[in-house]
Each structure stands twice: as structure tokens, then as C-alpha cells.
A = this chain, B = another copy of it.
Amino acid sequence: MVGIKDVASLAGVSVATVSRVLNQHPAVRAETRARVLTAVDRLAYRPNAVARSLRTHQTRTLGLVISDVLNPFFTELARSVEDEARALGYSVIIGNADEQPELQDHHVRTLLDRRIDGLLVSPTDGGSPLMLGAARTGTPMVFVDRWIPGVDVPVVRADGRDAIRDLVAHLHALGHRRLAIINGPAATTTGSERVEAFRDALHAYGLSLPAEYVGQGDFQADSGRKATGRFLDLPRPPDVVFAADNLMALGAMDEMYARGLRVPEDVALAAFDDIPWFVHTDPPITAIAQPTGELGRTAVRALIDVVEGRTAASVTLSARLVARRSCGERREQTS
């Protein structure tokens, strides 16, 4: 591998000078700069980022730890994060926790070992000592989508309260009265929040949310399927199942079809997180759409703010209802 020394000797200058032209330092004579530059591309020299990072204490890299890459919501989030980071001159390393706290820790640890400049996390759980420690000891950090209460870290997320109220209104208008929800893990904020918002919205319509209508899932399709099975085994099964994420909604749909039920005639279905595929399912699924791309981009900007010494505030965007056919024929279309 050709190093800065090779460039220096080809150009007949010192390594210090080469480094200067590489870093656009102004104090270099134009003629010298030109000589260095020709040497650089004659040798196809590329600076070693590892060495540079060691010296400068910065890697211009962000870490992103998400709970499940296979979930289209997170895939899209990851993509927007990378786009924005790249636009701002950073790279990103993605760690997929697969909803497992140990894996999440593994990635946080690896990322920290690599001395990434900042960490973007959508926590799978309530926070391991490792992650809490990193936050406390000043690793630039921002939570996105999910967060950990009580930790002093900016949060970029979407609030689904209003959209959930709209959803309940929509369901109520369609005549549904027995509404059930499949919850995410209690350790995630997105899990608990969504149930609460749902319960509140139901109350506003004089409906209640009995315990047997709250299913416990883990954000994976299979758990959605099982929870739905339990609902349908109930003496009085719900007439709508609302899944707290898209994968569980798919599982729910599987179970409904496996039992020969029709959607929405026999049971209705709605999901949190809208994804392109929901348009193509049979029937198209009513969902609450988060501004995913905006979430990712905002989170990156916030993180870079703290990385570069500015301060960042939490940001809450809002989600919106996208009514389709899985809850019955719609009366009005929400745009």
C-alpha cells in the first residue's frame, strides 16, 4: 500500500506538506500543491483512514443500532439515516440487534471499540448497563423511534396518539366495537405507548380495553400470529385486531386466513407502521404511517449536532392514518 511517505518523496517534499495539501491547509505554495497533487494521483494514493482517525480522534462514522433490519420500517429508517449522514460527510455502520438485548450490546460494544463519533439507537430493551454507561460518559447519542425513559439523550420519534385516535374513530364509524391490540414488548417505549394511546382513544368512545384484548407480541410475525390465535379462541373474539407493528400484522393476517376467516368481513385488521407492501396485500391494510425518512434524517442531524459540540433537542413528528380496506369499506379517505 502506498503511504504518505511515498507521495512525499515522489513530490520531493516532506510528509507534513503532503498532509497539508490533503487537508486544504492554506499555507502551501500553489506550485508545491500542484506537485503534491500530481504525485498523489500518479500513485493513486488514498489516505489511510485508520491512521488518520487514531491521530485526530474522530472517525467521521456514526453507529446505528436497530432492532430488526428485516422489518421494512427499520430498513427504510436505516436507508434514510445513511443518506443524510453521507450528505453530511459521515459514514454509518449498522448493527442489527434482531430484538435481542445481547446482540444489541454486542453491537454497541463493537461500535464503541471502533470509536464511532456518535450512536443512533432504537433500543430493544430498557437499556443495558453498557448503553446506559455510554450515555452517561458522554458518547454522543440520540434515540430514534424508541427510547429509554430517564436517560438524558435526545429522542427523535413520531407520536402516534392523534393517528391512533383517528384510527379508533374510523373503526368506530365502521361499526366496530370490540377492538383488540397486539402489543410490542413492554420494555420498548413504542410498545407501551401504543397501547396507552389506544386505550385512551377507546375511552373517548365509551369503549374499554379488557385485558384479554391486549395481546403480547415481540414485533415479529409469529408472535402476531399467536396473539391473534388467542383472540380468536376467546368466547367473544374481537372484531378488529390492531397490531403495533407491520410484521405482527402480517402474522395476524396469516392466522385469520388459516382459520378461514375473511378480512374484513369476519375480522378487521389494522397496523402501526405503513409499508409499501400494504397496498398490495389482500385486502390492502389500513395502517398508521410514520414519517420514516424524516425521522432518520432528523435523527442524524441531531446526532451530528451533539457530535460537533452543539446541542440537540428532542423532536417529535407526527404519524397519520392511512385508511385502506382491511377494516371495512371506508367512508372517507384520509390523505
A268 within 8 Å of B (CB atoms): no
- CB contact under 8 A between A91 and B110, given known A75-B75, A115-B48, A277-B277: yes
In the assembled complex, the Cα of A91 lies from the Cα of B65 at a distance in Å of: 13
Minimum CB distance partner of A52 in chain B: B113
A79 within 8 Å of B (CB atoms): yes
**A51 partner, pick from B48, B54, B221, B277, beta carbons under 8 A:** B54
Minimum CB distance partner of A221 in chain B: B276
User: How many copies of this chain sit in the oligomeric assembly?
Assistant: 2
Q: Is the CB of A96 within 8 A of B113?
A: no
Contact with B along A37-55 (1 / 0, CB 8 A): 0000000101111110110
Instruction: Kindly list chain B residues whose C-beta atoms are within 8 Å of the C-beta of A135.
Output: none
A10 within 8 Å of B (CB atoms): no
Within A102-129, the residues touching B (CB, 8 Å) are 106, 109-110, 112-115
Q: Is the CB of A82 within 8 A of B96?
A: yes
Instruction: Kindly list chain B residues whose C-beta atoms are within 8 Å of the C-beta of A204.
Output: none
- CB contact under 8 A between A54 and B50, given known A75-B75, A82-B96, A93-B91: yes
**A50 partner, pick from B115, B221, B283, beta carbons under 8 A:** B115
Instruction: Kindly list chain B residues whose C-beta atoms are within 8 Å of the C-beta of A49.
Output: 113-115
Q: Is the CB of A76 within 8 A of B70?
A: yes
Q: Is the CB of A280 within 8 A of B277?
A: yes
A151 to chain B: closest CB distance in Å? 18
Q: How many residues of A contact B (CB 8 A)?
A: 41
A334 within 8 Å of B (CB atoms): no
Q: Is the CB of B79 within 8 A of A113?
A: no
A149 within 8 Å of B (CB atoms): no
A263 to chain B: closest CB distance in Å? 11
**A78 partner, pick from B69, B221, B254, B276, beta carbons under 8 A:** B69
Instruction: Kindly list chain B residues whose C-beta atoms are within 8 Å of the C-beta of A75.
Output: 69-70, 75
Instruction: Kindly list chain B residues whose C-beta atoms are within 8 Å of the C-beta of A79.
Output: 69-70, 96
A94 within 8 Å of B (CB atoms): yes
Write the residues of chain A forming the contact surface with B, with a CB cutoff of 8 angstroms: 44, 46-51, 53-54, 59, 69-70, 72, 75-76, 78-79, 82, 86, 91, 93-94, 96, 106, 109-110, 112-115, 133, 221, 250, 253-254, 276-277, 280-283
18 interchain pairs (CB within 8 A)?
A: A46-B112, A48-B54, A48-B115, A50-B50, A50-B115, A69-B75, A69-B78, A70-B75, A70-B79, A79-B96, A94-B94, A221-B276, A250-B276, A250-B280, A253-B280, A254-B280, A280-B281, A280-B282
Given A50-B50, A70-B79, A91-B110; 4 other pairs, CB 8 A cutoff: A44-B133, A48-B54, A72-B72, A221-B276
